[in-house]
């Protein structure tokens, strides 16, 4: 077994899985010197004379700009022609387990037809309409695109308009992603960054994937169940939910869950989002703040006249939902899996390992991802922001293999 200063994936027989599928190499960052040594070793051992498409993705629990910019500088110096991007997180996921506070992953695509391109937009200097129009324009100019992966900083306002404006993206393009976070899930601090615009605290990074031999399958898992009666939204103002059945929205949470209208409201309601029917799909909406007038600020808009219910996490339902969806993903036979799991789900499994619920995906394919503030997924042609949700995006180059390689081990030095 090769001993490398980075992690690589092997199949069940201990053989390297190169040559037939995209590959994933991962690195733990501790300091600039050792990180550069690992990248040089990677470059010498695996990339000499190769011109295959690559992408670096960086996931960081720290918001320290100096540390983040150092990681980006080292990557840019050693791999000047390779795109990179990253975001802050509430925990990093590699191979369905927690990884180091700053984790770097390089995906190497095997087939010459596969294409990847990274875009970044500054949300502080551009309107939502302007940004979405630029994204739409890029999809029109690039017919090879099959998937868009979104990395959003925690928005100051609702993401509903952004999602609605992307409805005109070609129907064959899948869209998924997550909202950046931090190790303090009650904080609104977050960042995304790339080689396009650098580190920004109000920004979105978009990755285009595609090509004739590139395939994607995406699903979302909730497992939350409705609690109590249905309520009709009788007053709302965008993302501010004012009244349910004519009474202040906060009163409903107080009556059924005895949650106080104080500074701990966000944390105490994390596990009790609202079931909300929107765009012909069920969405979970998490309250982010309670207001003095009895209204509740949500993560995105909730329409007047819609029906909502408070929900709660049921372990049995969650496990069964994930079992079913992991079967769908396994049947797709992916080369890689990207995971966007709400930080609230991590807090839910306090008696288990933080990644307990995603273990069924572990033996399907290598994976990367993070615990997020919110999740994006396009369903029935509409892009929606979810909360307390698990979004899985599975990727594959080429057709399905005759026999899926469903087990592998990771070698670590």
Q: What is this structure's pTM?
A: 0.91
Instruction: Compute the distance between CA of residue 72 and CA of residue 101 in angstroms, rounded to an integer.
Output: 15
Residue with tokens 């000499």, as numbered in its chain? 48
Rounded distance, CA 377 to CA 84, Å? Answer: 22
| CA–CA distance, 244 with 312 (Å, rounded to integer) | 18
Query: Residue 50 has what pLDDT?
Result: 66
Q: CA 61, CA 327: separation in Å to the nearest integer?
A: 31
Which tokens is 125 given? 């200097």
What pLDDT, on a 0 to 100 scale, did the predictor assign at position 405? Answer: 43
- The pLDDT value given to residue 2: 39
- Alpha-carbon span 64 to 74, nearest angstrom: 16
Asked if residues 146 and 226 have their Cβ atoms less than 8 Å apart, the reply is no
- Give the C-alpha separation, 194 to 143, whole Å: 23
What's residue 17's pLDDT? 41
The number of residues in the chain equals 413
pLDDT for the residue 157 = 82
CA distance readout (Å), 48 to 18, 114, 212, 272? 15, 20, 26, 52
Show the low-confidence residues of the chain (pLDDT under 70): 1-20, 47-50, 402-413
Q: What is the dihedral of CA 160, 218, 338, 349, to 10 degrees?
A: 80
Distance separating alpha carbons of residues 250 and 374, to the nearest angstrom: 22
DSSP-assigned letter for residue 153: P
Task: Count the neighbouring beta carbons within 10 Å of the beta carbon of residue 105.
Answer: 25
Work out whether the CA dihedral 378, 379, 381, 383 comes out positive or negative.
negative
Question: What was the pLDDT predicted at 347?
Answer: 87
H/E segment holding residue 164: helix 160-165
CA angle 220, 406, 92 (to 5 degrees): 50
Q: How many CB atoms lie within 10 A of CB 19?
A: 7
């Amino acid at each position: 077994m090769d001993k490398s200063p980075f992690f690589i994936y092997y199949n069940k027989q201990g053989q390297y899985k190169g040559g037939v599928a995209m590959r994933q190499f991962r690195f733990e960052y501790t300091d600039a010197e050792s990180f550069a040594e690992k990248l040089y070793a990677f470059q010498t051992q695996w990339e000499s004379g190769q011109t295959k498409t690559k992408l670096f993705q960086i996931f960081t629990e720290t918001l320290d700009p100096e540390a983040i910019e150092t990681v980006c500088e080292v990557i840019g110096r050693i791999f000047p022609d390779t795109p990179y991007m990253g975001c802050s997180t509430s925990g990093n996921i590699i191979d369905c387990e927690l990884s180091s506070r700053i984790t770097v992953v390089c995906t190497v695509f095997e087939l010459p037809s596969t294409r990847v391109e990274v875009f970044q937009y500054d949300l502080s200097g551009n309107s939502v309409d302007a940004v979405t129009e630029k994204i739409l324009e890029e999809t029109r100019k690039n017919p090879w695109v099959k998937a868009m992966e979104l990395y959003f900083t925690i928005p100051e306002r609702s993401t509903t308009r952004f999602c609605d404006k992307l409805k005109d993206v070609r129907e064959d393009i899948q869209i998924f992603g997550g909202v950046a976070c931090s190790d303090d899930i009650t904080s609104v601090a977050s960042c995304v960054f790339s080689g396009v615009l650098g580190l920004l605290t109000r920004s979105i990074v978009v990755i285009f994937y595609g090509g004739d031999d590139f395939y994607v399958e995406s699903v979302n898992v909730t497992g939350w169940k409705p609690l109590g009666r249905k309520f009709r939204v009788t007053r709302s103002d965008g993302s501010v939910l004012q009244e349910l059945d004519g009474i202040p929205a906060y009163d409903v949470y107080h009556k059924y869950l005895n949650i106080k209208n104080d500074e701990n409201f966000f944390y105490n309601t994390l596990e009790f989002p609202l079931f909300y029917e929107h765009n012909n799909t069920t969405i979970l909406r998490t309250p982010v703040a309670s207001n003095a007038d009895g209204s509740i600020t949500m993560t995105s808009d909730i329409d007047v006249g819609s029906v909502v219910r408070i929900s709660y996490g049921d372990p049995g339902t969650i496990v069964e939902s994930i079992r079913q969806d992991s079967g769908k993903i396994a049947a797709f036979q992916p080369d890689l899996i990207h995971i966007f799991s709400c930080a609230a789900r991590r807090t839910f499994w306090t008696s288990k390992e933080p990644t307990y619920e995603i273990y069924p995906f572990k033996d399907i394919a290598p994976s990367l991802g993070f615990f997020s503030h919110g999740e994006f997924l396009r369903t029935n042609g509409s892009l929606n922001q979810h909360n307390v949700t698990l979004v899985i995006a599975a990727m594959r180059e080429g057709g399905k293999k005759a026999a899926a390689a469903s087990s592998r081990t990771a070698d670590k030095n």
